[in-house]
Copies of this chain bind each other. A is one copy, B any other.
């Protein structure tokens, strides 16, 4: 049995939705109104029937002989992912990685709003780049209570990741985006998503060593 979420959506489908979003968003910004199902599927590197099956978890999309209406499907997928609502985030750890995350393009356009950063180092406290302010970690629990924060980003060393995750969990966080290479213990209602830099690098290495050509869709920006 494959692993499924509460609603039974397979993990592979969940992982593909962001890829659909990114590609449809790109088409939409190019003012492309319509795309055939096999073409969309090919750009993403799956079959047309897989695409239809994936989307059928969330409703009925596309018309026989017409394909998909790009803005409509994008809107639907944005709603599925939750991009039609603002997600407020805090960043814990304002080192090189934290600063890089804070400066990353493409969050705000998808309604992910970084509200504040927290760090143990007093030298970092105060106004910082991107219009955010860095606070003491001691202020984190109160800040989370005072603001409706959905997502906590952990960009701290592994050693302190669990203790910080506990703070976030106790303050009612919904999701943790974890950049520390450590497994976190959280209650089942809190979602943890790890960012695995090495997965991406290993995929690159595998393609080099197996002489796998670039897949279309795989080079999406």
| Copies per assembly | 2
Contact A19 B197 (CB under 8 A): no
Residue with the greatest number of chain B CB neighbours at <10 A, chosen from A209, A212, A215: A209
A27-35, A63-71, A138-146, A175-183 - interface stretch: A175-183
The count of residues in chain A whose C-beta lies closer than 8 Å to any C-beta of chain B is 84
Within 8 A of B (CB), among A20-61: 21-22, 42, 45-47, 50
Nearest B residue to A50 by beta-carbon distance? B2
Q: Does A164 contact B (CB under 8 A)?
A: no
Which residues of chain B are within 8 angstroms of A198 by Cβ–Cβ distance?
18, 22, 106-107, 110
Q: Does A123 contact B (CB under 8 A)?
A: no
Which A residues are closer than 8 A to B by beta carbons?
1-3, 5-7, 9, 11-12, 14-15, 17-19, 21-22, 42, 45-47, 50, 80-83, 85, 87, 95-97, 99-101, 103-107, 110, 112, 150-151, 158, 174-175, 177, 180-184, 186, 188, 191-221
Which residues of chain B are within 8 angstroms of A5 by Cβ–Cβ distance?
207, 210-213, 215
Contact A45 B3 (CB under 8 A): yes
Contact B45 A2 (CB under 8 A): yes
Contact A219 B181 (CB under 8 A): no
Contact A99 B101 (CB under 8 A): no
Partner of A175, one of B14, B151, B205: B205
Which residues of chain B are within 8 angstroms of A174 by Cβ–Cβ distance?
208
Tell me the smallest distance from the CB of A120 to a CB of chain B, in Å. Answer: 17
